[in-house]
Amino acid sequence: MRITDSESPPRMAETVPPDALGRRVVCDGERGTVRYVGPVPPTAGLWLGVEWDNPERGKHDGCHEGARYFTCRHPTSGSFVRTKKVSFGVDLLTAMRERYEMELEQATSEELKISSRTVEMVGFEALTQKQKLENCKEVALERCEVSGPGDEIRRLSPNILSLNLSANLLSSWEDLACITQQLAKLRELNLGHNRLRPPVDPASLAPAFANLKFIALNSSALSWPELLECASMWPDVEELCLFDNCITELHRPINVLQSLTVLDLSWNPLADGSEILKLAELPRLENLNLSNTGLSSIHFGDVDAGFKSAMFPALKTLVLKDNNIAEWSVVNELDKLASLQQLFISSNPRAERREGQRNRPTAPHRPHRPAAGPRQNEDLSR
């Protein structure tokens, strides 16, 4: 039995934390960042000015009745709420106990009724052993309002290999490092739908992320420069998922991401094929997902047709679905890639004409994490 969000008791703040500015909060299921704490005349009492992740949740951009209280990225993503309406979250161990120990307690206390006969639930002894905190290896705490580490993670849950903290209330990389530095075995970290402040000193946090191989930062409002700044904290990361971050331009990674084998940049409006070439020197990159990025062309200018480019030396799988590629010359250009084995290019104007179809609607493909490659025989391969 899983405790759903609707079954979890609300955690409303009684007082404002001293570090409330910049903290993440949740109100009625909507997450946001506190940008202002103080009065809003002529009303009495204390207000929180919140910039909501969902711009439809707000009412203004931080300007109220002619007075500027804070600023927002979007003109309608800000509003004021009372402290008692929001939650500042809980620590990781509290969230784990609520998600796993309470589920287990409820499940083991139940009996299954079949045809008016009572049948004992089978296998709960093994389930109990598996779900003890100290034995957890894969921990899923999405939407559990995690905002900090809590005490004794290292002692109580030392065996975590994979941690899903998507859509929580973490405010900074420093807060996150306080969690990961206690998890020596951690290899996979999902941070999608969070809004983390850029680290003040990335180098000092690197030991906390030294063992990570996979990181997901989907829908996290990251720019590429911010990503490169953070990347120095992940020296050995091999898989990086950056789906839907509104990344419009790239810069060449220098002394970072050199171990990367899988990169998902799908659903970022890159559009200009020359931006992709800034990734061309990544020495180990084997799988690149550029679906729904607006690309219409790409050109490898270091060699003429019929020769192999020095760019993307290890790239084996390239995904270009749902773009604006209309010319076969683009496909011919991709033949310059020396290691390319699989090319996935469906739902492009070129592919539509080839299949004799026009204006076919396609559903967005939103992977949970980048896979080793799309399904065989799904598209063009060579």
**What would the pLDDT profile of 8-37 be if each residue is shown by its tens digit?**
445 666 678 999 999 999 999 999 999 999
| pLDDT value, residue 135 | 86
State the Cα torsion 335-336-340-345 to the nearest 10°. Answer: -40
Dihedral angle at the C-alpha atoms of 230, 173, 73, 370, nearest 10 degrees?
60
Give me the CATH number covering residue 225.
3.80.10.10
Report the C-alpha gap between 265 and 361 in whole angstroms. Answer: 22
Same domain for 315 and 209, yes or no, is yes
Range of the domain at 337: 139-354
Report the pLDDT value the prediction gives residue 131, as an integer from 0 to 100: 54
Same domain, 156 and 80: no
In a domain, 81, yes or no: yes
Based on the domain organization, do 74 and 163 belong to the same domain? no
344: left (phi over 0), alpha (psi -120 to 50) or beta: beta
- Can you say whether the dihedral through the CA atoms of 107, 112, 118, 124 is positive or negative? negative
Give the integer Cα–Cα distance in Å for 2 and 269.
37
At 41, list the tokens: 């005349």
Q: What is the DSSP letter of 348?
A: S
pLDDT at 4: 35
- Tell me the pLDDT tens digit for each residue of 49-68: 999 999 999 999 999 999 99
Q: Which residues contact 317 (CB under 8 A, 6 or more apart)?
A: 286, 287, 288, 340, 341, 342, 344, 372, 373, 374
- Say whether pLDDT at 126 is over 50: no
Domain stop point among 55, 85, 115? 85
Instruction: Give per-residue pLDDT as tens, 35-51.
Output: 999 999 999 999 999 99
Q: How many CA atoms lie within 13 A of 22 on its CB side?
A: 10
Q: Where residue 105 falls among pLDDT bands split at 50, 70, 90?
A: low
What lies within 8 Å, CB to CB, of 235 at 6+ separation is 206, 210, 259
Same domain, 198 and 281: yes
Task: Answer whether residue 380 is part of any domain.
Answer: no
Q: Are residues 81 and 147 in the same domain?
A: no
Does residue 135 contact residue 159 with C-beta atoms inside 8 Å? yes
Instruction: Give me the pLDDT at residue 335, please.
Output: 95
pLDDT tens-digit series, residues 301-311: 999 998 999 99
Q: Quick check: is 9 in a domain? A: yes
In this structure, are 77 and 149 located in the same domain? no
Instruction: Work out the mean pLDDT of the chain and round it to a whole number.
Output: 85
Structural domain ending residue among the three candidates 50, 85, 120 = 85
Tokens representing residue 298 in the block: 């790409």
CATH number at residue 36: 2.30.30.190
Q: How confident is the model at residue 101 (pLDDT cuts 50, 70, 90)?
A: confident
pLDDT at 7: 40
Structural domain includes residue 340: yes
Element (H, E) at 52: strand 47-52
Residues 328, 206, single domain; the answer is yes
| pLDDT for res 132 | 72
Q: Are residues 71 and 171 in the same domain?
A: no
Over residues 69-85, the pLDDT tens digits come to 999 999 999 999 999 99
Domain tally for the chain? Answer: 2
pLDDT of 277 > 50? The answer is: yes
The DSSP element (H or E) to which 51 belongs, if any, is strand 47-52
Give residue 11's pLDDT. Answer: 64
CB under 8 Å to 132, separation ≥6 — which residues?
none
Same domain (yes/no): 56, 164? no
Confidence of residue 364 (pLDDT cuts 50, 70, 90): very low
The fraction of the chain above a pLDDT of 90, given in percent, is 72
